[in-house]
């Protein structure tokens, strides 16, 4: 029973608010001997595990540090490429830390605006006239609920697959948005929501939901 995050997309399709609720932090530090028995590749300036699983490290995890020093842009502090470093036997044994990749803000904005056409396409593909867009998107690891208001703002919540009552939370979030974002005279429409009150009330709502399992706010 976990809620992973909340996203609000404006009428024109821009991400105006996002909030990560519980993101499980998975970090594995393992000491390796030469040669590294994982296949590593560089993708988007990140060193990613492309094949091989061991000690909790799975395909898709990202290398974050070597011997305790941080890896940035697939390079070490002194500018040597990580893959070059790991191909030299004299550098071993070596301690490598892998984590689940974290979405950057840019990626979130990108994905949120990606959902916008998907939603529109879904309503057009429908065999029946007057169909809504995507309301629930279910996968094996998460469930996404989307609620579009009559004015065109989309509220999205990503939660665990067995999480229930997500659609109710969305309506509550809409109320909070109407109260703490729109009634804030210094908030301009269609702009990113940076209202502290909104965020604190949202956190309270999610906490309460987690405690009781149902929303009775």
Partner 1 sequence: MARQGNRLDSKKVNSELFTLTYGALVSQLMKDYDNVEDVNKQLDRMGYNIGIRLIEDFLARTQSTRCQDFKETAEKIQLGFRIYLGISPNISNWSASGDEFSLIFETNPMLEFVELPDNCTNLKYCNVLTGVLRGACEMIQLDITSKFIQDQLKGDNVTELRVKFIKTIQDAIPAGED
Residues lying near partner 1 in the complex (CB under 8 A) are found at 11, 119-120, 122-124, 131-133, 148-153, 171, 174-175, 177-179, 182-183, 189, 217
Pick 143 or 201: Cβ nearer partner 1: 201
Number of residues in the chain: 217
Minimum CB–partner distance for residue 128 and partner 1 (Å)? 12
How would you list the strands of the sheet with 15-20, edge to edge?
Answer: 15-20, 3-9, 154-159, 143-148, 136-138
Pick 57 or 169: Cβ nearer partner 1: 169
Minimum CB–partner distance for residue 182 and partner 1 (Å)? 4
Pick 2 or 217: Cβ nearer partner 1: 217
Please state, in angstroms and as integers, the Cα–Cα distance from residue 167 to each residue in 45, 113, 216, following that order. Answer: 37, 21, 13
Minimum CB–partner distance for residue 129 and partner 1 (Å)? 10
Minimum CB–partner distance for residue 166 and partner 1 (Å)? 16
Pick 114 or 189: Cβ nearer partner 1: 189
* Cβ contacts of 142-149, under 8 Å, gap ≥ 24: 142/4, 145/170, 146/115, 146/119, 146/170, 147/171, 147/174, 148/119, 149/174
């Amino acid at each position: 029973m976990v809620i992973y995050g909340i996203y609000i997309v404006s009428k024109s399709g821009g991400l105006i608010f996002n909030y990560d609720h519980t993101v499980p932090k998975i970090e594995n530090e393992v000491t390796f001997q030469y040669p590294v028995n994982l296949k590593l590749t560089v993708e988007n300036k990140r060193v990613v595990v492309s094949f091989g699983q061991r000690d909790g490290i799975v395909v898709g995890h990202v290398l974050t540090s070597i011997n305790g020093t941080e890896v940035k842009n697939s390079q070490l502090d002194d500018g040597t490429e990580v893959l070059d470093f790991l191909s030299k036997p004299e550098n071993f044994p070596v301690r490598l830390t892998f984590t689940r990749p974290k979405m950057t803000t840019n990626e979130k904005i990108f994905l949120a605006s990606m959902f916008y056409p998907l939603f529109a396409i879904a309503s057009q593909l429908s065999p029946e006239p007057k169909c809504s867009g995507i309301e629930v998107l279910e996968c094996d690891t998460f469930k996404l609920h989307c609620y579009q208001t009559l004015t065109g703002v989309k509220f999205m919540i990503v939660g665990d697959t067995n999480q229930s009552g997500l659609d109710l939370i969305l309506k509550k979030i809409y109320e909070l948005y109407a109260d703490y974002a729109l009634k804030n005279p210094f908030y301009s429409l269609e702009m990113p929501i940076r209202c502290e009150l909104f965020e604190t009330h949202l956190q309270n709502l999610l906490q309460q939901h987690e405690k009781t399992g149902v929303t009775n706010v």
